[in-house]
Amino acid sequence: MRSSGLPAVALVLAALVQFPLPAQPVAVRQMEGEVHGYLVIRTLDGEVIASGESTQVTQGRQITNRLVFHFKDGSLQEETVVFTESGHFRVLSDRLVQKGPAFKHAEDVFIDGATGQVTVKYGDDNGREKVESAHLKLPPDLANGIVPILLKNLAPGAQSVTESMVVATPKPLLIKLAISAEGEDSFTTGSAGHQAERYDIKVDIGGIRGVLAPLVGKQPPDTRVWISQGNCPSFLKSEGPGYAGGPIWRTELVSPVWPDNSTRTGAAIHLHSLTGTAASSQAAPPR
């Protein structure tokens, strides 16, 4: 008698599962500092669905990065990560909040990097709040909240790296991110041409769950991140699911857009005026 297909396949593949990959903390090559930037989230069709703001401040040896997106439908995504950069990057804490109609379920995930305690608050299908918590042995290469920062600091010529990440399933689960350089893409700023490195990020669930995930259609799609090249690499954009089972969203930097009257009275100060030289005769008088 022939046994049912999936259990038999699972048993065979489970025997082939490799041991977990070792932690690979990324060495600090570019020191982080004070940052304030603006971003948007778009669909792959180019529609803007959320506007965001990123701020980063330093206090002693600790760095706090806060990224907030306000969606057009009233949804909110907010992530605050605290980390250090003493030789290698190390996440001290991370909190991710997602709520509103843009997300399948409301979620509030807090990771204490010092104790390994992870708490997940989420809404079930009936809208009732549930709580899952676990104590995980967190490796030193934890990447929650700092993936773009790690990519900026990869050694020149590095083709792949593996980092750890905590995800909510909704139970806290430690997975691996298999990051590989895919190649270069060109972009322009004004009339100037530049090159960006494109990275592919695959989720490696690991163990028997990881073996079964592609078979039952639960393997998350890849995420791609573009990092500018040169002496000061920086994040440009990313494309990937905004949450488990969600659509692919594009997150990218944006520049300020000024109103049409921005060049009128009070704004016609020549650049040399700001450096202490003679002021333009068109400048508005001081108030």
**Has residue 83 got a pLDDT over 90?**
yes
Q: What are the pLDDT digits (tens) for 144-172?
A: 999 999 999 998 778 899 999 999 989 99
**Has residue 265 got a pLDDT over 80?**
no
How large a percentage of the chain has pLDDT more than 70? 78
- Per-domain residue ranges for the chain? 21-255
Q: What are the pLDDT digits (tens) for 106-148?
A: 999 999 999 999 999 999 888 789 999 999 999 999 999 999 9
Q: What are the pLDDT digits (tens) for 52-65?
A: 999 999 998 899 99
Per DSSP, the residues of 51-75 read: EEEEEEEEETTEEEEEEEEEETTS-
**Has residue 15 got a pLDDT over 80?**
no
Per DSSP, the residues of 90-108 read: EEEEEEEEEESTTSSS-EE
Q: What is the largest CA-CA distance in the chain?
A: 95
Q: What is the pTM of this model?
A: 0.81
Give the pLDDT band of residue 4 (cuts 50, 70, 90).
very low
